[in-house]
Structure 1
Amino acid sequence: MTSPAVPLDLTDAAVVADPYPAFAAARATAPVQWDERLGLWLAFTHAESNAVLRDRRLGRIWRDRTPEERFGQFNLIHRNAILEMEPPEHTRLRRLISAAFARGHVERLRPWVQELADSLVDGLVERSGGTAEVDVLSEMAEELPVAVIAELLGVPAADRPLLRPWSNAIVKMYEYGRTDAVEDAAERAAAEFVAYLRELAAERRRAPGEDLLTHLVTVRDSDGDRLTEDELVTTCILLLNAGHEATVNVSGNGLLALLQHRDQLARLRADPALLPTAIEELMRFDSPLQLFERTATEDVEVGGVTVPAGEKVAALLGAANRDPAVFPDPDTLDVGRTDNPHISFGAGVHFCIGAPLARVELQASFGALLSRTSDLQLARPARRRPEFVIRGLAELPVVLTR
């Protein structure tokens, strides 16, 4: 291995708090570098990260966690996930899921999403009253996407509080330096989530509705193919975990960025037509997902190094989205940035299938925050979660004025 060693520790608290200076220093050394601690290659530039995501010789190759008897349900929900598959299995599953999505579910929910966002902001404003702090993260950013996914799937309102704790426990398995307790909690959550969705799917077979879960239960392609029970359950879990985690963290990271860049907040408030562009910039500026792994199915050259067959290489999405070769003044937040090929939703065959829904949610929530308040102020420093891969806040205390 001729690549220099990575000059950063992705588990270091300072890097987790603000990885972007470390990314810039590493990018200046080499575009792709070997990380001995993690046992994988890291791509720091936009070009190389994009190549990692698009090169068909670099696949999502799932290997069950071991011992398998300890991680039975966690393995099940990944072994059958579209995110962990390559063609032709991926092609078949994506075709079936896309057919269910194509029935207008996202557009059907758009007015409802906006009403919910308006209602949540009104509640925050009432509780804050221009003087008291409220936590925008727990009281809005986490509430809205979970409610939307639950409404999309047809999860009964009484059961919706179950969803986020399950998701939170499962996604902690994607971090480095996990404890046994974290792993055990992830397996328990996976088992409970799987059992719940099997029961809900059985109910939809008995009594179909107009929700996405019903359509996933009944969808068939032109060859008569359909989702297996395990694929159905896994797809629903992936929609919740991937769908709401990204939206929650763009909401938190993005609002914090605006509160720290008051000129851009004022610019967006003065010109609401910038909102779609601003959402893309907030995703670029502080990416909710920082790292996405692939496995070489043969020797592959990336960024001047050879990734041997069987070894892993990861696209550092946050580093790619701050690459000065692609983004002028990459460390500057610019809500009017129009040339913005960020890769926060991925690229290639694994491009996020829920991206249109995420954009609807984000435009609704930021639009409501801007249109239904006259002032937003950070009450005290936000508190960031201590994980690197899924980058987000634990608390965002804000004072809102009607």
Structure 2
Amino acid sequence: MVFDPNDPAFLSDPYPVFADLRQRAPVHWHDSLGLAVAVSHAACFEVLRDRSAGRIWTDKTPVSAFPAFNLLHRNSLLESEPPRHTRLRRLISAAFGRGHTARLRPWIRSVAGEMADGLAAAIAADESADLLTHLAAPLPVEVIAELLGVPAADRPRLQPWSNSIVKMYEYGLPPEGAAVAERAAGEFVDYLRALAAARSREPGDDLISDLVAVRDGTDRLSDDELVGTAVLLLMAGHEATVNVIGNGVLALLRHREQWDRLVADPALLPTAVEELIRFDAPLQLFERTATEATSVAGHELAAGDRIAALLGAAARDPAVFDEPDRLDIGRSPNPHLGFGAGIHYCVGAPLARVEIAAALEALVTRLPGLRLAEEPVRRDEFVIRGLRTLPVTA
């Protein structure tokens, strides 16, 4: 075994292990995961770009126990390959291209500012507060809810649904966790079907309305494809963004000179966002399956073999990044793979960048003296890397 994804020491800081693996070879076989893992930037980029390695969805079994979870993924842009992927991306991009990021940008900055003020008030009342609770977790949910047009009264349901469903992507999930994920998926599917039906009757300026209406000639998204798209946006948009903000603020507070640098010069926000995505990747592993015999960095794959890009390892590759273990909010260029590469490059990347920048701007301008109140608690999961708590004071 090249690493133990359940080892608390590894989960705390996987990067020295990744560095050792990179020095030995760009690709390694991992017995317990049952797949090859690419650890160099070049090998990970090859995994993400190689058209002989695709996203091939295999239903969670027993199929009868996971109807909703499987429905979401059978109809997901992320889990499809051309020609279906080409069709889905064309339709979804057309809906996204109707100005949603520009429409939401000032609103996101306003909401982030209000949440930072709430964090400041909580700190003033109790000497410290959890940054995840007050800003990092609720902001992405509010943004996705506003994007989709979810009514305010229903928004508290989104985060628990997302948190439950994404547990299914970890290795070794116990049966009770899988049952909770399926229940959440079923509830979310039912909710989105009802919301899409309402928007078809009374369209708004939200993305669900645009996904209902989008056409390419006579082609349109099916009801299942629309639901799969909306759930993908919530899970990817929420989980990745909350963890970039959490991991990123922690990195800034532990590298105080970089926090102070951003406080002094908020014009560094665009490069700071990219550096925080690179420095402590919120998604550590992205899996592909060989559709035909191929090779990655000299590692041979037969059709059906699986291989994963370890994005956290790619992000610390000294062949690409000078002093990769150093946090540098002015780093440029910064060719991280945090949003993927190739045909599966994240369609929501522009919106995610706006959210992260808004959160950082609100914090450095309203709470310039922010610091850790005590050691944060990290989630005991490998694929999705994040924190359970981030106690801060000012």
TM-score by length of 2: 0.99
Contact 2:45 2:337 in 1 (8 A): yes
Decide which of 49, 53, 59 is 2:48's aligned counterpart. 53
How do residues 2-401 of structure 1 correspond to structure 2 at under 5 angstroms? 6-129=1-124, 132-221=127-216, 223-400=217-394
Q: CA deviation at 1:131?
A: 6.5
Aligned residue identity for 2:32: R
Q: CA deviation at 1:386?
A: 0.4
Distance in 1 between the 2:117 and 2:260 partners? 20
Q: CA RMSD in A?
A: 0.9
| Structure 1 runs of 4+ with >3 Å offset | none
Q: Which runs of 5+ in 2 are unaligned?
A: none
The 2-side partners of 1:7 and 1:119 are apart by 45
Asked whether the equivalents of residues 324 and 330 of structure 1 are also in contact (C-alpha less than 8 Å), the reply is: yes
Amino acid of the residue matched to residue 22 of structure 2? R
CA contact (8 A) 1:74 1:187 kept: yes
TM-superposed deviation, 1:305:
1.4
- Cα distance in 2, alignment partners of residues 375 and 131 from structure 1: 16
Query: Secondary structure at the residue paired with 1:50?
Result: helix
Secondary structure of the 1:190 match is helix
State how far apart, in whole Å, the 2-side matches of 1:339 and 1:108 are: 28
Cα distance in 1 between the residues matched to 2:150 and 2:299: 48
Q: Cα deviations across residues 177-220 of structure 1 (Å, max 9, x unaligned)?
A: 11011100010000000000001111111111111100101110
Unaligned 5+ segments in structure 1 are 1-5
Residue 261 of structure 1: how far off its partner (Å): 0.3
The code of the aligned residue for 2:199 comes to: R
Partner Cα separation in structure 1 for residue 142 and residue 313 of structure 2: 31
- Whole-Å separation in 1 of the counterparts to 2:241 and 2:33: 27
Give the match's secondary structure for 1:247. helix
CA distance in structure 1 between the aligned counterparts of 2:299 and 2:362, rounded to whole angstroms:
47
Deviations for 1:80-107, whole angstroms, at most 9, x for unmatched residues? Answer: 0000000110000000001111110110
Distance 1:121 1:329 in 2: 32
Distance 2:368 2:358 in 1: 17
Q: What's the offset of the Cα at 1:11?
A: 2.2
Shift of residue 130, structure 1, vs aligned partner:
8.7
Q: Deviations for 1:353-390, whole angstroms, at most 9, x for unmatched residues?
A: 00000000011010000011230010000100000000
Task: Letter of the 2:100 partner, please give it.
Answer: H
Q: Is the 8 A contact 2:263 2:368 kept in 1?
A: no
Matched residue, 1:3:
none
The CA deviation at 1:254 is: 0.0
- The number of equivalent residue pairs is 394
Find the aligned partners of 2:189 and 2:125 in 1 and give their Cα distance.
43
**Offset at 1:114?**
0.4
Distance 2:203 2:367 in 1: 41
Q: In 2, distance between residues paired with 1:295 and 1:160? A: 35
Q: Is the 8 A contact 2:148 2:206 kept in 1?
A: yes
Query: For 1:12 and 1:368, how far apart are their aligned partners in 2?
Result: 35
SS at match of 2:114: helix
3-state SS of paired residue (2:94): helix
Deviation at 1:136, TM superposition (A): 0.5
Tell me which amino acid in the other structure corresponds to 1:273: A
Give, as a single letter, the amino acid of the residue that structure 2 aligns with 1:333.
L
- The amino acid that maps onto 2:294 is V
Shift of 1:119: 0.5
Distance apart, 1:41 and its partner CA: 0.4
Please state whether the residue corresponding to 2:65 is helix, strand or coil. coil
C-alpha distance in 2 between matches for 1:307 and 1:36? 15
Q: Deviations over 1:35-93 (max 9, x none)?
A: 11111000000000000000000000001111100111100000000000001100000
Q: Which amino acid aligns with 1:303?
A: A
CA contact (8 A) 1:11 1:177 kept: no
Q: Distance in 2 between matches of 1:102 and 1:40?
A: 37
Q: Distance in 2 between matches of 1:29 and 1:131?
A: 49
Amino-acid identity (%): 62
Alignment partners' CA distance in 2, 1:171 and 1:246: 11
Letter in 1 for 2:159: R
Deviation at 1:129, TM superposition (A): 2.1
Matches of 1:278 and 1:80, distance apart in 2: 35
